[in-house]
Amino acid sequence: MRYVSTRGRSPSVGFVDAVLAGLAPDGGLYVPQAWPVFTHNEIANFAGRPYAQVAAVVLGAFAGDEVAPADMLAMCEEAYATFRHPAVVPLTQIGPNAFIAELFHGPSLAFKDVAMQILARLYDHILQRQGRTQTILCATSGDTGGAAVEAFRGRKSVRVMALFPEGRISEVQRRFMTAAVEDNIACVAVAGDFDDCQAIVKDAFRDDDLRQAVDLSGVNSINFARIAAQAVYYFTTAVALGAPHRPVSFCVPSGNFGDAFAGYVAKTMGLPISRIVVATNSNDILARAFSTGRYERGAGVATISPAMDIQSASNFERLFFEATGRDAAATEAAFNNFAQSGGLDVPPAALQMMQASFQGLSTSEDDTRATIAGMLAVTGQLIDPHTAVAVAALPRTSAPGPIVVLSTAHPAKFPEDVAAATGRTPALPAGVADLAARPERFDRAPADAADIKARLRAFAGV
């Protein structure tokens, strides 16, 4: 399986190189040269199989002959054994034709664990084979850092430095990072906001000397392996609800568009999905793009679903590339334009193609809070604010048939906002109930790329 860049100026690479590189050298994102497709029977055969087995088949289709099937299965079994629920991603029913897929039973209580747990094992597997040690630098607005630290702590071939904006993430989010005692993990509280942290990471990646010296790598959602790993739960949940014999729709709380794009990948691979509803909070760049074709940065606002406070959704470039019939020149021009002017126009034919699969809907803060309270009243279930943004969109969707909301975080990850909406404070699950009592370990740094890069060298011992 070869991977090509959405901007068409980098040579194609294999699965292993696409995973370790993250971003393509021409600034584009890697996608498979041709999408693997499962037959009706192959999909029907997923019914009743353990999650890890389906994951190994789906990921195996993307890895081709670069990872031995037995190794892939062993890694998937280990990765999903870390989840607190034997179904890994269990389904609950919230209405006559509405369901919730709980993606938050992993170690850090957010859906990022689903991809990060297998990604860490893939990294270790590949790097040990190559006799190499890499350094991962990641900026987090909350959940990615915790998932990365949980997945990579103690691994031999990888060290991780996580940058987070001091005072701008929840205490539970911070403690999932800072409680790690392993010395291949370094957490740095940056005196700035998430954009400052992300700018420092980009600066580090542009520094060729540093990149080589520490063998720098990245695990944000531009990494194709994360998308591939997220396609898996579309298969398992849709099949549990009757696919491939009947189509299913999904409603996805969205920020960087990785999760919703993974649904499109599953659909392209043969899974009958009627609609993917892209649910956003008031940061509605995606919802506007799908209704008008104008993809334009707005003024960023802070919401109670902070993991979706995003003004540019990296993975939209992958969809643009697909929707234009893989026109790399048009994709490059559009996203250069977006970088310079903050906006781009989706060509009419491409918009039509997007609208055949996607519907974008934005939910207000008031509606989000009312939905958290309403879910408790109607089903007795506490949901987190990100999930509530999607549940609130359900009455407005045009999706026919059964629809599944992807629940992306455990309510205990956002206890203050859930308590404010319902009067009930969600409890942390067993195993992490003592999180607030664990000692924290982190450094503080100014929002200065030179400072962080010096720390990164020292951390890598070069």
Ligand X SMILES: *Cc1c(COP(=O)(O)O)cnc(C)c1O
- 134 vs 173 by CB, closer to ligand X: 173
ω into 244 cis (within 30 of 0): yes
Q: Is 112 a catalytic residue?
A: yes
Interface with ligand X includes 250 (CB under 6 A)?
A: no
Question: Which strands sit side by side in the sheet containing 98-102, from one edge to the other?
Answer: 91-95, 98-102, 403-407, 248-253, 273-280, 358-362
**Residue 454 beta carbon to ligand X: minimum distance, rounded to whole angstroms:** 30
Contact letters (x/-) for ligand X, 198-227, by CB under 6 A? -----------------------x------
Asked if residue 107 binds ligand X (CB under 6 A), the reply is: no
In the complex, least distance from residue 257 CB atom to ligand X, rounded to whole angstroms? 5
Q: In whole angstroms, how close is the CB of 308 to ligand X at the nearest point?
A: 5
452 forms part of the interface with ligand X (CB under 6 A): no
Task: Please return the burial class of 364, using the count of CB atoms within 10 Å of its CB with bins 0-12, 13-18 and 19+.
Answer: middle
Q: Which long-range contacts (CB under 8 A, 24 or more apart) does 194-200 make?
A: 194/139, 194/140, 194/141, 194/165, 194/168, 196/165, 196/447, 197/139, 197/140, 197/163, 197/164, 197/165, 197/447, 198/139, 199/449, 200/139, 200/163, 200/447, 200/448, 200/449, 200/452
By CB under 6 A, name the one of 269, 408, 417, 456 that touches ligand X: 408
Could you tell me how many residues of this chain bind ligand X (CB under 6 A)? 16
Taken as a whole, the chain contains a residue count of 462
Nearer to ligand X, 80 or 111 (CB): 111
- Binding window for ligand X (CB under 6 A); candidates: 114-122, 190-198, 255-263, 343-351: 255-263
Helix ranges (H only) for 183-281 are 194-206, 208-214, 224-240, 258-268
Q: Among residues 43 and 313, whose Cβ is nearest to ligand X? A: 313
Q: Among residues 32, 60, 247, 258, which is the contact residue for ligand X, using CB under 6 A?
A: 258
How large is the angle between the packed helices 316-323 and 328-341, nearest 10 degrees? 140
- Chain centroid to Cα 244, Å, comes to 25
Least distance between ligand X and beta carbon 112 (Å): 5
* Dihedral (CA of 106, 110, 112, 116) sign: negative
Place of tokens 């400052």: 196
CB of 219 to ligand X, least distance (A): 13
Buried b (16+ CB within 10 A) or exposed e, 12-47: ebebbbbbbbbbbeebbbbbbeeebebeeeebeebe
Torsion of Cα atoms, 218 then 221 then 223 then 224, to 10°: 170
Considering 112, 267, 413, 453, which one is annotated as catalytic?
Answer: 112
Helix and strand totals (H; E) in the chain: 19, 16
- Give the span between the Cα atoms of 363 and 308, in whole angstroms: 12
C-alpha–C-alpha distance, residues 171 and 440, integer Å: 11
- Give the one residue of 31, 307, 334, 394 binding ligand X; rule: CB under 6 A: 307
Angle at the Cα of 155 from the Cα atoms of 150 and 157, rounded to 5 degrees = 135
Judge contact between 217 and 241, C-beta under 8 A: no
Q: Is 308 in the site for ligand X (CB under 6 A)?
A: yes
Number of Cβ atoms within 10 Å of the Cβ of 150: 24
Q: Which 108-167 residues touch ligand X, going by CB under 6 A?
A: 110, 112, 143
Among 159, 168, 318, 386, binds ligand X (CB under 6 A): 386
> Which x/- pattern, by CB under 6 A, does the window 343-382 give for ligand X?
----------------------------------------
Pick the piece of the chain touching ligand X (CB under 6 A) from 205-213, 250-258, 370-378, 433-441: 250-258
Rounded to a whole number of angstroms, the minimum distance from the CB of residue 326 to ligand X is: 22
Nearer to ligand X among residue 121 and residue 318 (C-beta) = 318
Q: How far is the CB of 458 from ligand X (least distance, A)?
A: 30
Region 259-278 residues binding ligand X, contact defined as CB under 6 A: 259
Residue (60 or 142) nearer to ligand X, CB: 142
Kind and range of the H or E run holding 93: strand 91-95
x/- letters, 409..448, toward ligand X (CB under 6 A):
x---------------------------------------
Question: From the list 254, 281, 282, 324, which residue makes contact with ligand X (rule: CB under 6 A)?
Answer: 254
Among the candidate windows 91-99, 157-165, 251-259, 359-367, which touches ligand X by CB under 6 A? 251-259
Query: What residues are labeled active site?
Result: 112
Positions in the binding site for ligand X (CB under 6 A): 110, 112, 143, 221, 253-259, 307-308, 386, 408-409
